Structure 1
Amino acid sequence: MLKIFSTQVSGLLKSISDKEEQQIEESSRLLAQTILSDGTVYFKGFGEMEAVVSEALHGENPFKKAERFRDDSLDELLPVDSVVIASRFQTDEGAFAFCERIKEAADCHVILIGGHKKEEENSDIKADIMIDTKAVRGLVPLDDGSRVGFPSGLAGLFVYYALFLTTEEILEEYVLDKE
C-alpha cells in the first residue's frame, strides 16, 4: 500500500505544480504586493487544513507579515491586506461562507486553497484566486472499491510552500530592482 500511496502522491504534487502554476504565480504577486504595501497576510484553515496556518506562522519558513485570522480580524481588514483560506474542498460550506464575509467586510485579496470536485460549480465563490490541491479522494484503492489515503493536508502544505517560495522569489527580484 505504501508504494502505491507514494507513487500517487508524487503524481498529485506534480499535477499541482504543472496545472496550478499560473494561479500560484498570480497569488504570489498579490501576496508580495500586500507585503510591500505594509499590509497583513492573514491565514485561515478549516479542519485538517489548519496545518497550512501552523506552517505559515510557526514553521521553519514562516510567511512574511503573516497573522492567524481571528474573529476580530474582520474589523481590522484593509484593502491592502490578503487572506489565504485553506479548506479540504473549495466548496466547503465554512470556507464558502467565510469568503463571502471577507469580501463583504473589506475589498482585500482572497486566495482559496482546496480541492476542486469536477461535479461541483465554483462560480459563486467570492475568492480572487482559487488554487486546486487536486486532492478530492483517497489515493489507495481497496479490494471493496473504497479508497484510503486522502492527502488534503499534504497537498495544502505543498501549495503553501509553492506560494512561499514564489512570493520570496518575487520579493527578491523587487529588492534587486531597487538597488
Structure 2
Amino acid sequence: MLKIFSTQVAGLLKSISDKEEQSIEEASRLLAQTFLSEGTVHFKGFGEMEAVVSEALYGENQFRQAVAFSDESWEKLLPVDSVVVATRFVNDEEAVAFCAKVRQMADCHVILMGGRGKEADLETTADIVIDTKAVRGLVPLDDGSRLGFPSGLTALFAYYALFLTTEEILEEYELD
C-alpha cells in the first residue's frame, strides 16, 4: 500500500508543479504586491487545512507579514491586504461563503487553495484558485473504496510553491 501511495502522491505533486505554475505565479505576484504595499497576508484554513495556517505562521519558513484570519480581522481588512484560504475542496460551501464575504467586505485579493473537482466553477469566488489536485483517496481497496486522502499534504506542497515563488519575486525587488 505504501508504494502505491508514494507513487500516487509524487504524481499529484508533479501535477501541481506542472499544471498550477501559472496560478501560483499570479498568486505570488499578488502576495508580493501586498507585502510591498505594506499590507497584511491573512491565512484562513478550514478543517485539516489549518496546517497551512500553522506552517505560514510558525513554520521554519514563515510567510512575511502573515497573520491568522480571526473574527477581529473583518474590521482590519484593507484593500492592500490579501487573504489565502485553504480548504479540502474549493467548492466547500463554508469556504466559498467565506471568500464571498471577504470580497464583499473588503476589496482585497482572495487566493483559494484546495482540490478542484470537474464541477467546480469558482471564477467569482476568488481572484486565483490553486488546485491541490487531491480529490479522493489514492490507494484502491478490494471493495472499491480508497484510502490515503492526502489533502493536507498537497496543500502544504502548494503553500511551499506559493511561499518560494513569492520569495523569489521579492528578492528581485530587493536587488533593485
Are the counterparts in 1 of residues 90 and 120 from structure 2 also a CA contact under 8 Å? no
Alignment of 1:35 with 2:48, yes or no, is no
> Contact (CA 8 Å) 1:96, 1:125: kept in 2 or not?
no
Quote how far apart the aligned CAs of 1:125 are.
Answer: 4.4
2:131 pairs with 1:132: yes
Alignment of 1:88 onto 2:104:
no
Partner of 1:146: 145
The answer for unaligned runs of 5 or more in structure 1 is none
Letter in 1 for 2:91: T
In the TM superposition, 1:54-133 aligns within 5 A as 54-118=54-118, 120-123=119-122, 125-133=124-132
Moved over 3 A (4+): none
- Which residue is equivalent to 1:49? 49
Structure 2 counterpart of 1:51, which letter?
A
Structure 2 CA distance, aligned partners of 1:32 and 1:67?
15
Letter in 1 for 2:157: F
TM-fit CA distance, 1:75: 1.1
Q: CA RMSD in A?
A: 0.8
Cα distance in 1 for partners of 2:25, 2:123 equals: 23
Aligned residues: 176
**TM-score (normalised: structure 1):** 0.97
Aligned mates of 1:97, 1:23 — CA distance in 2: 21
C-alpha distance in structure 2 between counterparts of 1:155 and 1:172, whole Å: 26
Structure 1 residues 62 and 127: CA distance shift in structure 2, 3 A = same
Any conservation in 2 of the 1:42–1:68 contact (CA below 8 Å)? yes
Query: 2:97 & 2:115 partners in 1: Cα distance?
Result: 17
What residue is the counterpart of 2:20 in the other structure?
Answer: 20
With normalisation by structure 2, the TM-score equals 0.98
Identical-residue share of aligned pairs (%): 75
Deviations 1:90-123 (A, max 9, x none): 00011000001100100000000000111x2314
